[in-house]
Structure 1
Amino acid sequence: MAISELPNSRTEPDGSAVVRILSYNVRSMRDDEDALARVIRACAPDLVCVQEAPRFFRWRKHAARLAAKSELVVLSGGATAAGPLLLCSLRAAVERTEDVLLPLTPGLHRRGLATAVVRLGGARLGVVSCHLSLSEQERHAQAGLLLDRVASLGTPYAIVAGDFNERPGGPARSRLAKELRDAWDTAPWGTGPTFPSAAPDRRIDAILTTPGVQVLACGVPADLDERDLTAATDHRPVLAVVRVPAA
C-alpha cells in the first residue's frame, strides 16, 4: 500500500480524529535538508516527532527552516529538550507544551522529552518525542521516567514516538511495552527496520500508543524516494496512521 492509499487525516462524524504521525531522527540536519523536507512532505503528517534536532548556534532558526520547508510549524522542543522536537500542521490546536530535561549521567549526553497536548477535531491527544540513551542502564531508567511523563499529561490518549536506541524485546522496550503498544506490532505496513538508512537492519525507531488509540497502519513507507532517504539522514522515518476517539 502506497502512502497515498493510507487513510487521509480527517475528523469523523463522531468527533474522533484520523491522525498521521511521523517519527524521524534528523541527525542535527547535517545532511541534505531539501531531501529531508521532501521525505517529510511526502508522508503528509499532522504531527512530527523529531529526534536529534539542532541544539546549538541558531538552533531555533534551523528548526523553523525545517518546519517551513516541510510545510509545518514548530510546536515544541529543540535545544530546550536536548534534541527532541515537535512539528505540526495547522490542523492541530495546541493546548499546552512542555520541554523536559531528564537526569544527566556524567560522561553521557543529556537527554530530554518534547511534550504537548493537542486537539484534532473532537480528539484530545498527548504527544511525546523522545531519544533514549545509548547506555542500557540509563535507557531502562529513562523508560520509567517516560512512562511517568505520559501519565502526567492528563490526557485519555497519548502517542510516544522516537529513537529508542534499542530493538524490541530489550529491557527498556519491554518496560515500555507493559503500558504502551508498539504500533508496528498492531498494524504493520511498509517495512520495519529503520537504521542505518542506507541499509536498515534494526528497528530502533518506533511509535507507541496508549490503549484506546486505534492503529490503522504503521511502518517505514516503502514508496519513498531511496535517494532522498539515504541523503536526508542516517535513520528512516516511521509513519503511523491512527484513529483517536473523541474526548
Structure 2
Amino acid sequence: MTPLARTLVLALAALLAGCATAPPAPPAEREVTVMVYNIRAGKDLAGGENLPRVAELVRGTGADLVLLQEVDRNTQRSGPADQPAVLARLTGYSVAFGRTIGFQGGDFGVALLSRWPIRRDTLIPLLVTAPPGRTTGNREQRGVLVAVVDAPGGPIAVLDTHLDHTGDDAWRLQEIATVLQVARTAVEPGMPVLIGGDLNARPENAVHEQLRGAGFRDAWEGCGAGDAMTFPASAPDRRIDYLYVTGATRCESARVLPSDASDHRPLVFRLRLR
C-alpha cells in the first residue's frame, strides 16, 4: 500500500469512528401558535354578524391552528351562510367542520382552521348514559372533531370539542372520558396531540382531573399571562376555555385577547413541539 493510500484509509477509519461515537442530534423543535375560540355562531355581543372580525383576529395573531366552537353551516340564523367556508376564504386557511346537531335547516358544531393541509378529519359523537331517573332527551348532542394536520416537521393531531353547558357534571365527565378514549385510539403513537375547546368546566372541576390523569397538561399553567378568564367577554369572571398538551410539547406563552367579537374571549398559545 502506498503512503497516500495508507493515509486515506486511516483518515476514513477515523471519520467512521467519529460518526459511530458522535451523540445523536437532538429532536428538532418547531413553534406552533394555537387559538381556541367559541365564536357564538358568528355573532358579536350585540347580535351582529361578524365573521370578518373573527378572521381578522386569526390573521392578527398569526395563529397556525384555530379551534372553533359554536359554528353554523347554512342555518337560518346565519344567513344562511356556510361559516366554515367563509372563514376559510377570509383567512386563506384549510378548514374542517364537525356537525354535532342539525339546526334551523342547517348544521351546528365545531371547526378547525389550519395554516397547513388537513390530512384527515372526522366528527365523533360523545355518547352518554343518563343517570338513574334521568333521560338524555333534552340534552344537546356534543362531539369531538379529530383532525390530523400536515404541519412542517411532522403531523399534529388536534381534538376540538365543546362539552355540555348545563350545571350537571354527569354529562361532561362522560363526554371528556370519550374524548380521551378517542385520543388513545385514533391517534398514531408518538404524534403530538392537542385537546382544546370550550369545556364549560372551571379549573377545580373533575373534568380536568380526568385530563391530567390521562397524561395531559393544561397549557396555560406556567406560561399564561393573567387570569385566563374568557367568559363572559364583556367582563370575564370564569375560566371555561382550554388547551391541553402532552409529551414533550411545552407552552412558551399564552394570553386572552380583549375582544367582544363573541360572548367568549379568544385564547392564544405559543407552543414548542418536539
TM class by shorter chain equals 0.7 to 0.9
SS in 2 for 1:54: strand
Q: Distance in 1 between matches of 2:243 and 2:221?
A: 10
Aligned in 2, Cα 1:20/1:78: closer, same or farther, shift over 3 Å? farther
Q: Distance in 2 between matches of 1:120 and 1:147?
A: 23
Task: Write out per-residue CA displacement over residues 40-71 of structure 1, whole angstroms, 9 at most, x where no aligned residue.
Answer: 22111111100011155387722111222233
State the one-letter code of the partner of 2:67.
C
Q: Distance in 1 between matches of 2:108 and 2:169?
A: 19
Match of 2:171 in 1: 138
Q: Distance in 1 between matches of 2:180 and 2:268?
A: 22
The reply to whether residue 172 of structure 1 matches residue 207 of structure 2 is yes
Check conservation: 1:190, 1:219, Cα contact below 8 A: yes
SS in 1 for 2:140: coil
Task: Write out per-residue CA displacement over residues 153-175 of structure 1, whole angstroms, 9 at most, x where no aligned residue.
Answer: 12422001100101112011221
Match of 1:83 in 2: 109
* Unaligned segments of structure 2, at least 5 residues: 1-25, 45-49, 102-106, 129-135
SS in 1 for 2:184: helix
Match of 1:3 in 2: none
Check conservation: 2:126, 2:179, Cα contact below 8 A: no
| Greater relative contact order (CA < 8 Å, ≥ 6 in sequence) | 1
Match of 1:150 in 2: 183
State the one-letter code of the partner of 1:68.
R
TM-score, scaled relative to structure 1: 0.83
Check conservation: 2:121, 2:147, Cα contact below 8 A: yes
Match of 2:264 in 1: 235
Q: Distance in 1 between matches of 2:100 and 2:253?
A: 31
Match of 1:97 in 2: 121
State the one-letter code of the partner of 1:183.
A
Larger deviation: 168-177 or 98-107? 98-107
Larger deviation: 193-202 or 49-58? 49-58
Following TM superposition, by how much is the alpha carbon of 1:125 offset from its aligned partner in structure 2, in angstroms? 1.3
2:246 to 199, 203, 210: 210
Match of 1:54 in 2: 72
SS in 1 for 2:228: coil
Aligned in 2, Cα 1:15/1:96: closer, same or farther, shift over 3 Å? farther
State the one-letter code of the partner of 1:143.
I
Question: Where do residues 15-54 of structure 1 align in structure 2 (5 Å cutoff)?
Answer: 15-31=28-44, 32-54=50-72
Match of 2:16 in 1: none
Aligned in 2, Cα 1:22/1:155: closer, same or farther, shift over 3 Å? farther
Q: Distance in 1 between matches of 2:73 and 2:34?
A: 23
Identity of aligned residues (%): 29
2:85 to 32, 46, 64: 64
Check conservation: 2:110, 2:160, Cα contact below 8 A: yes
Q: Distance in 2 between matches of 1:212 and 1:121?
A: 17
Following TM superposition, by how much is the alpha carbon of 1:38 offset from its aligned partner in structure 2, in angstroms? 1.9
SS in 2 for 1:140: helix
TM-score, scaled relative to structure 2: 0.75
State the one-letter code of the partner of 2:53.
A
State the one-letter code of the partner of 1:184.
W
Q: Distance in 1 between matches of 2:73 and 2:200?
A: 19
State the one-letter code of the partner of 1:154.
E
SS in 2 for 1:168: coil
Check conservation: 1:147, 1:176, Cα contact below 8 A: yes
Q: Distance in 2 between matches of 1:102 and 1:69?
A: 31
